[in-house]
Amino acid sequence: MHSKVLTFLRVGGSNTAGVKQGLVAGLAALALSMGGLTYGSSGGKSSLVRQASGLLQVETLLEGLQHPWALAFLPNDEGVLITERPGRLRLWREGRLSPALPGVPEVYARAQGGLLDVAIAPDFAENRHVYLAYAEQDSNTGRAGTAVGMGRLADDGRALENFKVIFRQQPKLSSGVHFGVRLVFDSAGHLFIALGENNQRSTAQDLDKHQGKLVRLMADGSVPPDNPFAGQPQTLPEIWSYGHRNPQGAALNPWTGRIWTHEHGPRGGDEINIPQAGLNYGWPIATHGRNYSGLAIPEAVGADVEGMEPPHYVWEESPAISGMAFYDAGRFPQWRHSVFIGALKDRELIRLELDGDRIVAEERLLGELDARIRDVRQGPDGYIYVLTDSGNGALLRLSPEPRRSQ
C-alpha cells in the first residue's frame, strides 16, 4: 500500500511579490566552483527565498536553453551534458555552453517527442559511453516510439562518435505523446528504460508490446537471461514490469539498490512505484485518476485491483511529475534521506522525506519561480540541480542555506 503523508510543508506563503520578481527577472549566472570545474560566469547574483523549512538559495547557472529535458554529470570535472528537446545535446563546461554536438541521431521533435533523457555509462572512465533516449518516427506509418542508443563522447567533448541504437520500442504507436522516458543503471550495470504507453492505454497490459513497460537490458542492449519473461512464449524478454502509463522519472535508491520510478496519471493519480520483476502495476485497469474529460477511464475497475500492485505513493491531484533524484550527499544533512521530484503543472520542486522506503513528509519548493521543473539531479558537489522547461529554459543550483566561503 502507498505511504500516507504525515507532514505537508507548504512553501512560500510569506514571500513577497518582490522576491518572486527577483527570482524571475534578477537571477543571473554566478561563478561557482565544483572541484576544478567552474559553472556559470562571473558578475551575477543569486537569491535567497524563505521557505517553511528555512532559507533556500537559488543560483541561475545558465539560461536560454530550448526546452531542456535532462542533464547528466560527467566524471573528473568534464562538465554537464544537457539535452534539448528539439534534438540538441550540449556540453556545459568551465562556464561555457557548447554548440550542438555532432553525432546525435535524428529525432521526432513534435509535441512531447524529441531528444529526451541522457545517461552516462557506469564505466564511462574506460569507454566514454553516453546513452540517449529519444522519440523516433516510423517512416511507413508516421507514428513514433522511443529509441535508445549509445555513442562515445570524444576526448575533447566536442562530438558524439559511433552512435548506435541498442533498443527500439515496438510497435511505434505514438502520434506525439507518452514516450516516457528515463534511463537508469543499477549497481550491477543493467540498464532500465521506463517507457510510456504512447497514449494507447490497453497496450500497457500486452506483454508482446513495449508500451507502458519498464525494460531491463545489459549495457550493450542484450537481454539478461534472468529477466522475468525471458524464454516465455508470446512475451518480450526485455520486459521487467508492466502496467505503467507515462513514466518520466526513474532513479536508483542508493540505500537499497532498488529502482524507483514515477509516472503521470491522467486527471489525478500521479504515482511512485518500486517496480519488481514480472509484476503488473495496473494501468489502465487500476488507477486513481480519471480521464481529462472528467469521465472514468473506460478500462478501469478501481484504484486497487487484486493481482495488480498498488502504487507506493500517489497524488490524487496530479502535480505532473518529471525527474527524480535521491539525496545521499553529506553536504546538507537536512536533505539526507530525501527524494526530489520536479512538477510541471504545479511548477514546483517536491521534496519527499524518507524513513526507509516510507515517505513520511512532503515539502514544496520553488513555487515563487513559477517554472515547469523538468529534471532534477544531485551534483557531485552535493548541491541539487534542476532544469526548467520552457523556450528559455534554465539550469539552477539549489542549497538549503547560504553558500559559505570555501
Strands 358-365 and 7-9, by their bridges, are parallel
Read off the C-alpha cell for 314: 500517489
The secondary structure of 18-86 as a DSSP string is: HHHHIIIII-----EEETTEEES-TT---EEEEETTEEEEEEEEEEEESSEEEEEEPSTT--EEEEETT
* End-to-end CA gap in the chain: 45
Give the CA distances from residue 355 to residues 193, 232, 358, in Å, rounded to whole numbers and listed in that order.
27, 38, 5
Question: Is 178 noted as a catalytic residue in this protein?
Answer: yes
Q: Name the catalytic one among 129, 178, 210, 262.
A: 178
User: 153 by DSSP, 3-state: which?
Assistant: strand
Residues constituting the chain: 406
Cis-peptide into 284, omega within 30 deg: yes
Residue 126, phi then psi, degrees to nearest 5: -90, -40
| 112 contact partners, CB below 8 Å, separation of at least 6 | 135, 176, 177, 178, 179
CA distance 118 to 131: 6
Cα 389 to the center of its chain, rounded Å: 12
Task: Tell me which residue has cell 498498488.
Answer: 310
Annotated catalytic residues are 178
